[in-house]
Amino acid sequence: MKKELLYTISAMPYRQPIPVYGWRFGGPQRMLAVMGAIRGDEYQQMYIAARLIHRLEKLEASGALSEEAGILVVPCAAQSSMNVSRRFWPLDNTDINRMFPGYEDGETTQRLAHRVFHALQGYHWGIHLTSLYLPGDFVPHIRVMKTGWQKEDEGLDFGLPYLIIRSPRPYDTVTLNYNWQVWETHAFSLYTKENSDIDPFSAEMAVDSILRFLACHELLQAELPPGQDTISFEESRMATFYSTQAGILFPQKYPGDKVAAGEVVARILDPCTTEVREEIRSSVSGEVFFLRSARLLPEHTIVCRIIPG
């Protein structure tokens, strides 16, 4: 293992430059890059990367890593936002994960995206430990962007419950995942249950899945928990349920729960009287895949998504 200074962030006017480190394992080959937190509230993503470093250090010391396994893990590139508890860049509220591949002479977050991408470019595989634009909890899964360059069958090698195939929207073209693919890296986004809190169980599940992926590609020899039979599913086929009323969200079902058609998934209460304003009922039978975690909910917004079946 080798800890390496990748670059420094010197864009904050009132403090010293902030170092961004990467941890390297194995040989010099650029086989796998793992990116942790890019946003300031991605504590779970930073924790997963840190746990991966911990596990890889022991595996490398035991000789379990192949000589062909050149791995880079970057736990966090969002220290400036984390320091002031902001999800996006604190000075202009822009999102680094909407700035890739970055621009060396551009605005601050464009320059930061350029430095992150420069450090992560050229790897055969790339895994981004990321979060959704909406606050909420997921069933742990691997996600592949349908760009035409994607290698979605490799997503089955993680052994997570679901492989979600997403057709990109215009704003996806400036994410790390999309640009990794444009620059010929086989890219995956890995989602776990939490975002701004730490869930140790799903974090270890994510670490095991990455190690399982390495083992599937003969870069690691180790005994690992068996993976699950992954279900491949097009994101566009999910059933999405929206609120028609604003109020306090009280979930009745949670990610991973089975739900029957007609069952109540969540209730929205009047914030001044606690009267039930709306019941969100599923129109399909299936499994709750995503649930909003915001306690106060505006109207006409996504409450949950269900995988029919």
| pLDDT digits 0-9 by tens, 155-167 | 999 999 999 999 9
Specify the pLDDT at position 14.
Answer: 67
Specify the pLDDT at position 13.
Answer: 65
- Work out the average pLDDT over 225-249: 96
Per DSSP bridges, beta strands 239-242 and 302-308 are: antiparallel
| Token pair for 195 | 């975002």
| pLDDT grade for 151, boundaries at 50, 70 and 90 | very high
Say yes or no to pLDDT of 195 above 90. Answer: no
Specify the pLDDT at position 12.
Answer: 66
Class of CATH domain 238-308: mainly beta
User: What is the location of CATH 2.40.50.100 in the chain?
Assistant: 238-308
Specify the pLDDT at position 294.
Answer: 84
Specify the pLDDT at position 221.
Answer: 95
Specify the pLDDT at position 1.
Answer: 95
User: What is the location of CATH 3.40.630.10 in the chain?
Assistant: 2-233
Percent of the chain with pLDDT over 90: 85
- Work out the average pLDDT over 236-244: 97
Q: Which of 78-92, 212-226, 270-284, 286-300 has the lowest mean pLDDT?
A: 78-92
Express each pLDDT in 8-52 by its tens digit. Answer: 987 666 678 889 999 999 999 999 999 999 999 999 999 999 999
Phi and psi at 165, nearest 5°, equal: -100, 120
Say yes or no to pLDDT of 7 above 70. Answer: yes
Q: Given strand 141-145, what is the order of strands in its sheet?
A: 2-9, 18-25, 71-76, 32-37, 125-129, 186-191, 141-145, 162-166, 231-234
Say yes or no to pLDDT of 182 above 70. Answer: yes
Closest CA to 267 of 283, 248, 239, 282: 248
Q: What is the pTM of this model?
A: 0.94
Phi and psi at 180, nearest 5°, equal: -55, -45
Class of CATH domain 2-233: alpha beta
Express each pLDDT in 250-284 by its tens digit. Answer: 999 999 999 999 999 999 999 999 999 999 999 99
